[in-house]
Amino acid sequence: MVRLRTALLAPMIVLAAVGTGHASVLLSATITNSQENPPASPLTTTTGASRPASFGTATFTLNDAATALTFSATLFNIDFTGSQTADVNDNLALGHIHAAPTVTPATNGSVVWGFFGVSNDTMPNDVVISPFATGVGGTISGKWDAAEGNNTTLGAQVANILGGHAYINFHTVQFPGGEARGNISVVPEPASLALLGVGLAGLLGTGLRRSRRAA
């Protein structure tokens, strides 16, 4: 069993090697109210009526030189214009990326780059905001360039972003500390996953055959 466990490390090492050789890194986040710390609940209007949960998704691409992080996020039930609903509580106030070595899905971190409200996307400003034509929400995209950041730089935060120690956060009038949040995670490459699967299957098969012979 010890030999099998040791052998299982081999395809994981290969997976890491393949992943680091790729020209760019894809990342994603699933954005929900429950990921906020503390969770954003209950969501209400200014008169106390319930309003629907806000949620969304975001995708990110870190270029091969790690000098630019592009992103696109789509949010639902957060008012992008201030006029998609009659109430102000769901109005989008701020949009940030937070990161720190201590960040986990349940732990908060400092703002390292702002893209809405107080924006650090200034060299140049790449932010594009596209409110939904109907309904509540919209899409926002931008690019974190190397020299930009909130008292930091992209280069200083790359390890946190790739290590799962970063999250995207959307703040509203009702929840100025954050209403909808998503932890940023690396998306495994299909080729790497296939290689890992083949390696694990082969090693597990070998281990089972040895175990049967030993029995």
Note whether 18 and 189 are within 8 A (CB). yes
Quick check: 84 pLDDT over 70? Answer: yes
Question: pLDDT tens digit string along 4-61?
Answer: 444 444 444 334 434 444 579 999 999 999 999 999 999 999 999 999 999 999 999 9
Residue 8 is predicted with a pLDDT of 44
Note whether 84 and 135 are within 8 A (CB). yes
Quick check: 196 pLDDT over 70? Answer: no
Note whether 167 and 35 are within 8 A (CB). yes
Q: Residues with Cβ < 8 Å from 5, sequence gap 6 or more?
A: none
Residue 45 is predicted with a pLDDT of 98
Residue 144 is predicted with a pLDDT of 98
Range scoring the smallest mean pLDDT among 71-75, 131-135, 190-194? 190-194
Question: pLDDT tens digit string along 94-125?
Answer: 999 999 999 999 999 999 999 999 999 999 99
**Per residue, what are the HEC states of the chain?**
CHHHHHHHHHHHHHHHHHHHCCCCEEEEEEEECCCCCCCCCCCECCCCCECCCCEEEEEEEECCCCCEEEEEEEEECCECCCCCCCCCCCEEEEEEEEECCCCECCECCCEEEEEECCCCCCCCCCCEEEECCCCCEEEEEEEEECCCCCCCCHHHHHHHHHCCCEEEEEEECCCCCCCEEEECEECCCHHHHHHHHHHHHHHHHHHHHHHHHHC
Residue 215 is predicted with a pLDDT of 56
